[in-house]
Amino acid sequence: MSNQLREPANSKGCNGSILLDNVDGIQSEKDARPNSNSAAGFDVIDDIKTALENVCPGVVSCADILALASQISVTMGGGPSWEVPLGRRDSRTTNQAGANSDLPGPFESLGNLTSKFRNKGLDSTDLVALSGAHTFGRAKCSSFSRRLYNFSDTWNPDPNMDSVYRDKLRQTSPQGGNANTLANLDPSSPNGFDHKPPEQRGTSSDGSRMFSTSGADTVVIVNRFRNCQYEFFNVFAQSMIKMGNISPLTGNSGKIRADCRRVN
């Protein structure tokens, strides 16, 4: 039996499948709705892979590179560090349909977000902790403009958003303006990883839903993390390890790709 047959046909785990480009038989996950014109930095992964292949060819998978790069970027931003479990292998296939259906979107209800996380073995604590990664980075206007002009189809702004910050964002993202314009996810510390969830003064709408949904278990979790950086950092690290262990390919499954964009 070949490795190809041993690999799950619709593997949905941490297997580097997002890195594959379109070729015959490969429908790239980069073109899935949640990733298109959003996921970036692939050239950085290419450079890392090239350097590793020059030193120890066929040893380090693209999937492990992604997991390690995530840990390093968080730590360099002032966030926690954790020991990344290694040994993943790379997928020979993609699952664009799965990316379209399973990845959480910026406009989903808290119930949908919770359900999608639960389906991957992640609970409400993981949801809040991993959403805390919105403490640094950038977002396109298209991902948060509804909070400014038509929150939950009310044709009013998100009532939980700080009004001063909302008006500032409207200058960057005017109604009908360039949807690809970037804004900081957290204006107070855009390049730093900290424990202050940007619910009211941040672009993220999932953070707003998590602390403002009456009766939701996420409200207590948000407050816990906001009041204790140590606890947030500790749980975030644990949740990253859990997410990195979602259905990885190991042993004889998959392949260690020589080029992260192509199947060997």
**Binding-site residues for substrate, please?**
104
Among the listed residues 184, 207, 237, 205, the one whose alpha carbon sits nearest the alpha carbon of residue 74: 237
Among the listed residues 184, 177, 257, the one whose alpha carbon sits nearest the alpha carbon of residue 15: 257
**What are the beta bridge partners of residue 90?**
255
Among the listed residues 79, 67, 75, the one whose alpha carbon sits nearest the alpha carbon of residue 13: 67
CB 107, CB 40: distance < 8 Å: no
Annotated binding site for heme b: 134
Annotated binding site: 13, 17, 29, 104, 134-135, 186, 194
* Dist. CA 40–CA 34, nearest whole Å: 12
DSSP letter at 79? -
Annotated binding site for Ca(2+): 13, 17, 29, 135, 186, 194
How many CB atoms lie under 10 A from the CB of residue 26?
17
Residues in the chain: 264
How many CB atoms lie under 10 A from the CB of residue 178?
12
What type of residue sits at position 248?
A: P
Three-state DSSP at 139 gives strand
* Dist. CA 159–CA 140, nearest whole Å: 21
* Dist. CA 171–CA 167, nearest whole Å: 7
